[in-house]
Chains A and B, each alone.
Chain A
Amino acid sequence: MTEKQPSILFRLDPRSGIAPYRQLVDQVRQAVEMGRLRGGDQLPSVRDVVTQVTINPNTVHRAYRELEHLGLAEGRLGLGTFITQNPDVHTTEVGNAELSRQLQLWVQRASAAGLVDGDMLELLRRILNHDERVLS
């Protein structure tokens, strides 16, 4: 039994409607974007993840494969899965700040137009779902 603390603590929301493997991928990507995970950090082993959160090991394997495919992580034979040295995250901190500013402006305009918080979230959810009702 190793006493080493895991580099990331995963969470799983079974009611979110988002596939569990996607939730793991998103959490790693966010941790890299926020600098909580850095190049060379080792991701917890599949065995450790299934003792952290109640999840099928195949789903963890799949999430790690997806992270490798995205260039965020790399598997090292016999050692485990590690964050790549220069992970290719799309949004830098500068980019995040710019996106936040734009979103704040949008929220102000939406409020002025009479939308409440729930309306805005619903609109965003539909756009993320490619719901054509809001895309036309």
Chain B
Amino acid sequence: MITPVIETNALAKRFGRTWGLRDCTLSIPAGKVAALVGPNGAGKSTLLRMAAGLSRPTSGQIKILGGVPSAGDASLLKRVGYLDQERPLYKGFRVDEMFRFGAGTNPTWDMTTAHAYVDQLGISLRDRVDKLSGGQQAQVALTMCLAKQPELLILDEPAAELDPVAREDLLRLLMREVAERGTNVVLSTHALGDVGSICDYLVIMSHSTIVLADDLDFVVESHRFLSATSSNAPALPEGVTVIDTRTSSRDVTHLARMTLPLVDETWRITEPTLDEIIMAYLRLGTGSTLSQSHYDAPTTRGGVS
């Protein structure tokens, strides 16, 4: 079996008195573009920072590309490209100066690729980083990651705050990299629309832990809406787990996960979209189910984002 790109076992991280991440067991296979989705504070950045070797677990284990990521293991970390939400760039630098800095600190740096990418994006090597638009800065930051020719790219909300054209350009750049070099990608995002088109592995996080992690196709295939008239709703079939329930004056509809192909004559069965499945998980335990008539106080969560 091929080594998973990220593998964790009971991984946990505590910040003072709050858990940023707990009981996180995960195995993301090689050859995937994996999406981490979840509300702010769910632990996505905490997990990605530990994967990038920037933060150490409080307990449990994490391995990337088969090795333990730590600041001391340069030979492992040079195989990884990590892009922070903040997209750190030296603002006073020109693009070519950033690239020379990248080449000096990364033995696998590919200057031809770096030049070709910014050229296609209409960015001049002479441009100063702080004079570029937000979208162009994001593209330069991603180019810095790609020019390292990493085996694993870890991207924390790479397209957040970008206008639609800039985000499209950025994601295409990323997809072309995957097509040409087979780079493994793990990214966090709030844009559910992107998940279905660019990702093929899904990790849903909530309340500092993982609630679902699987191949995207399997996620879609293993969830169904089950509807019935509420006054005489039949018993739920065996092997289904209800994730979310909506009620109207007449009908009850469950979004359920199934372990087996469902053969059932008593419920009306329809296929949910990927967005509907993800939203149902994100609503879990938040008290924000629309069918509830009363208002639940917002759940308090750990203070990290």
Q: Which residues of A contact B (CB under 8 A)?
A: 12, 14-15, 17, 19-20, 46-47, 50-51, 53-60, 129, 131-133
- Chain B 23-35 interface mask (CB, 8 Å, partner A; 1/0): 0000000011100
Q: Main SS of the interface on chain B? A: helix
- Chain B 195-229 interface mask (CB, 8 Å, partner A; 1/0): 01111100000000000000001001000000000
Residue of A nearest to B267 (CB): A132
Q: Known contacts A54-B171, A132-B268, A133-B268; is A47 also within 8 Å of B198 by CB?
A: no
- List residues of chain A with CB within 8 A of the CB of B179: 46-47, 50, 57, 60
Q: How far is the CA of A17 from the CA of B199 in the complex (A)?
A: 15
Known: A51-B176, A55-B198, A60-B179. 16 other contacts (CB 8 A): A12-B197, A17-B274, A19-B196, A19-B217, A47-B176, A50-B172, A50-B178, A50-B179, A51-B175, A53-B197, A54-B168, A54-B171, A54-B172, A54-B194, A56-B199, A132-B269
- List residues of chain A with CB within 8 A of the CB of B220: 19
- List residues of chain B with CB within 8 A of the CB of A133: 268
Q: How far is the CA of A15 from the CA of B33 in the complex (A)?
A: 20
Report the minimal beta-carbon distance from B173 to chain A, rounded to whole angstroms.
9
Report the minimal beta-carbon distance from A80 to chain B, rounded to whole angstroms.
13
- List residues of chain B with CB within 8 A of the CB of A129: 270-271
- List residues of chain B with CB within 8 A of the CB of A60: 179
Report the minimal beta-carbon distance from A14 to chain B, rounded to whole angstroms.
4
B193 pairs with A56, CB closer than 8 A: no
Q: Known contacts A56-B198, A58-B200; is A14 also within 8 Å of B193 by CB?
A: yes
What are 22 A-B contacts defined by CB distance under 8 Å? A14-B196, A19-B217, A20-B197, A47-B176, A50-B175, A50-B178, A51-B172, A51-B175, A54-B175, A55-B197, A56-B175, A56-B178, A56-B199, A57-B178, A57-B179, A58-B31, A58-B32, A58-B33, A129-B270, A129-B271, A131-B270, A132-B269
- List residues of chain B with CB within 8 A of the CB of A53: 197
Report the minimal beta-carbon distance from B121 to chain A, rounded to whole angstroms.
12
Q: How far is the CA of A57 from the CA of B177 in the complex (A)?
A: 10
- List residues of chain A with CB within 8 A of the CB of B197: 12, 14, 20, 53-56, 59
Q: How far is the CA of A59 from the CA of B179 in the complex (A)?
A: 11
- List residues of chain B with CB within 8 A of the CB of A17: 273-275
Report the minimal beta-carbon distance from A58 to chain B, rounded to whole angstroms.
5
Report the minimal beta-carbon distance from A122 to chain B, rounded to whole angstroms.
12
Q: Known contacts A14-B193, A46-B179, A131-B268; is A59 also within 8 Å of B200 by CB?
A: yes
Report the minimal beta-carbon distance from B15 to chain A, rounded to whole angstroms.
34
- List residues of chain A with CB within 8 A of the CB of B176: 47, 50-51
Q: How far is the CA of A38 from the CA of B197 in the complex (A)?
A: 27
Report the minimal beta-carbon distance from A61 to chain B, rounded to whole angstroms.
9
> Within 8 Å of chain A (Cβ to Cβ): is B238?
no
Report the minimal beta-carbon distance from A16 to chain B, rounded to whole angstroms.
9
Report the minimal beta-carbon distance from A41 to chain B, rounded to whole angstroms.
21
Report the minimal beta-carbon distance from B135 to chain A, rounded to whole angstroms.
15
B198 pairs with A54, CB closer than 8 A: yes
* Residue picked from A12, A19, A56, A129, most chain B C-beta under 10 Å: A56
Report the minimal beta-carbon distance from B78 to chain A, rounded to whole angstroms.
24
Report the minimal beta-carbon distance from A83 to chain B, rounded to whole angstroms.
21
Report the minimal beta-carbon distance from A21 to chain B, rounded to whole angstroms.
9
Report the minimal beta-carbon distance from B221 to chain A, rounded to whole angstroms.
10
Which 10 pairs, one residue from A and one from B, show the smallest C-beta to C-beta distance?
A: A57-B179, A17-B273, A50-B175, A14-B193, A54-B171, A47-B179, A50-B179, A56-B198, A14-B197, A58-B200
Q: Known contacts A129-B271, A131-B270, A133-B268; is A15 also within 8 Å of B175 by CB?
A: no
B196 pairs with A20, CB closer than 8 A: yes
> Within 8 Å of chain A (Cβ to Cβ): is B163?
no
